[in-house]
Chain A
């Protein structure tokens, strides 16, 4: 919250043009990875594999898109992965108990949203820094989920429900439709609505935002709740794709989601970034893993390769970024 260290807030119009230039380079990075992979592996450019990559990227994107809004306000939500785990386990239980996928989906979304709202309350009313508040929440959620599941796995869901995660409509996987819908809604909300622009303003300079009459706390409550609800949505996709859930599914989801947001060009200092960038970030992370599997790169080297590509992607981005100050 140190306003001194921050550069003066940029005028609104410059966000868009600056973001547009950044997006171009980020898409270029994704394109370069695709180019290299299509030369190295003949199966990479098949329609099947492209849909495969998009479907895999969708889960990361759902978590990361809500998170983007939080990061835009210069906050962080470390509880997203743990939230996915708890929401998935609760939704799974409800489906098993009631036999109703609809109730299950509502439970997952409501659980995710409630956790997000609690994060928001901690950040606004209790004034706990978001990093600490959501880090604490991560432990609370893990504790509740471990206790609730007691090492068990919940599995076996109705075929209709399974369609959400693994079904197709007109040749496209259903998660890909959801990805496009939420990409459109998210981008429109952030770029074209007053509330969206207020979120950018809060991240750029919270004091100026408050002084200019933006209801900062209400907007913060909103972004944390949205982040939680998107984690709830991801939990439903997870559950219906994998047909099961256990307590430890969340841990491996949090860092890739944060990485997707940052690779996508959203600044941890707030005020700069786009939902579309986060989509490209999710795509880059997925492409790297997909490529390594297709090329059968030795498992020992995979973390190293992932790390190097993530660092190069962000470095290229910073080199090509127009100076802001």
Chain B
């Protein structure tokens, strides 16, 4: 009897605390990212966590266990539509294939913010992203400027057919077109993989006696190319994209010339901020395309702190960061 009573008591206390806690903790934001393997999405998630903490909201992460899996993200959406979080911050694993999923979220009347890859359809509160083309263009320009507008250059491409790769490589090529003195020796696929980039670079060094610059579509491939150059005792200027910690370390030690910052952290911050602001009836910015930052040995310091210690941009900053 006593036991049962205390059980009920505990239960009711638990319910009471759960409900009050829910109120105190504010809104629940479901954050969808593409995978657990790419360091970029880790920066997105930490950005979202930091912003939610600052605004007293709670984050639930939804990540496909199989990287970039379309069916898995679809089933996670079905899940979330039932659980009904206050709002959703959404990165489609595929910008076309996930449109039906977004429509399901719209039908369930859950406000959703689109980050990173722009969805081909559906209704969003806001879009926060970076522009792969200008990232490729700006980092490419920086490399060619450092080379004095001339020299032999190779491109190491990412996964064929992925949106990010198409735009980044287009940016690289346009930077090359602006510098007629530079020669593109080869443009070969490294599939965003370190090992494949290393092997591509080893092979290209066999057929090209002089390589002055390497444009790699992400940091892992850039670092792989550097290992290949080191192994052959050759020197070339290398740039990557994403601004990962590894890239920052390589920039610090002078091995990597530069990395284009994809601003995953800011995307996570701002996506979460817009979601919460729309819930609280505050004004939101409909679209922010973050301007690319080329991280070099002159400006790496702000990026050289652990993610958790970085601070999210404020709403006022956000409107200056590239609002359209």
Indicate whether B196 reaches chain A with its CB closer than 8 angstroms.
Answer: yes
In whole angstroms, what is the CA distance A294 to B188 when docked?
Answer: 10
Instruction: Give A53's nearest chain B residue, CB to CB.
Output: B203
A166 near B227 with CB under 8 A, answer yes
Kindly provide the distance from the CB of B242 to the nearest chain A CB, expressed in whole angstroms.
Answer: 11
Chain B residues numbered 217-248 whose CB sits less than 8 Å from any CB in chain A: 220, 223-224, 227, 230-231, 244-246
The 7 closest A-B pairs by CB, nearest first: A151-B42, A293-B203, A248-B37, A299-B189, A146-B36, A43-B207, A49-B206
Contact pattern, A 34-61, Cβ under 8 Å of B = 1, otherwise 0: 0000000101101011001001100100
Q: How far is the CB of A131 from chain B (nearest CB, A)?
A: 18
Number of interchain pairs (Cβ within 8 Å) = 113
Given contacts A43-B206, A246-B220, 15 further A-B contacts (CB under 8 A): A56-B202, A59-B195, A151-B36, A151-B37, A153-B39, A241-B195, A244-B223, A246-B194, A247-B36, A248-B35, A249-B194, A252-B191, A252-B196, A293-B204, A299-B189
Q: Which of B39, B42, B195, B203 interacts with A252 by CB under 8 Å?
A: B195
Residue pairs across A and B with Cβ atoms less than 8 A apart, 28 shown, are A41-B207, A49-B206, A52-B203, A52-B206, A150-B42, A151-B42, A151-B45, A152-B39, A155-B223, A155-B249, A241-B198, A241-B227, A242-B195, A242-B198, A249-B195, A253-B195, A289-B203, A290-B203, A290-B206, A293-B188, A293-B207, A294-B207, A296-B188, A299-B160, A299-B188, A299-B189, A300-B160, A302-B189
A251 to B245: give the CA distance in the assembly, Å. Answer: 22
Q: Any chain B CB within 8 A of the CB of A276?
A: no
Residue numbers of A with Cβ under 8 A of B are 41, 43-44, 46, 48-49, 52, 55-56, 59, 139, 142-143, 146-147, 150-153, 155-156, 166, 238, 241-244, 246-249, 251-253, 289-290, 292-294, 296, 298-300, 302-303
Contacting residues, chain A, for B45 (C-beta < 8 A): 151
Which residues of B sit under 8 angstroms from A44, Cβ to Cβ? 206
Partner of A248, one of B38, B42, B65, B198: B38
Judge if B193 is at the interface, Cβ distance under 8 Å.
yes
Q: Does B187 reach chain A (CB closer than 8 Å)?
A: yes
> Chain B contact residues: over half helix, strand or loop, or mixed?
helix
Q: Is B200 an interface residue (CB 8 A)?
A: yes
B36 cross-chain contacts in A, Cβ below 8 A: 146-147, 150-151, 247
Taking CB atoms, residues of chain B closer than 8 Å to A253 are: 195
Q: Which residues of B contact A146 (CB under 8 A)?
A: 36-37, 65
Cβ-closest chain A residue relative to B46 = A151
Are B65 and A151 in contact, with the CB atoms below 8 A?
no
Q: Is the CB of A293 within 8 A of B186?
A: yes
A91 CB → nearest B CB, Å = 16
Residues of A within 8 A of B245 (CB): 152-153
A166 to B232, CA, bound (A): 9
List chain B residues, Cβ under 8 A from A142.
65
| B41 CB contacts on chain A under 8 angstroms | 151
Q: Are B39 and A246 in contact (CB under 8 A)?
A: yes
Asked if B322 CB lies within 8 Å of chain A CBs, one says no
- Whether A151 and B38, one on each chain, are in contact in the complex, defined by CB atoms closer than 8 angstroms, is yes
Would you call B67 an interface residue if the criterion is a C-beta within 8 Å of the partner chain's C-beta atoms?
A: yes
Question: Contact flags (1/0) for B49-84 with A, using CB distance below 8 Å?
Answer: 000000000000000010100000000000000000
Contact of A249 with B203 at beta-carbon distance under 8 Å, contacts A241-B198, A299-B160 already known: no
The answer for the CA separation of A289 and B207 in the assembled complex, in Å, is: 14
Q: Restricting to B230-289, which residues have a CB under 8 Å from any CB of A?
A: 230-231, 244-246, 249
B265 to chain A, nearest CB (A): 12
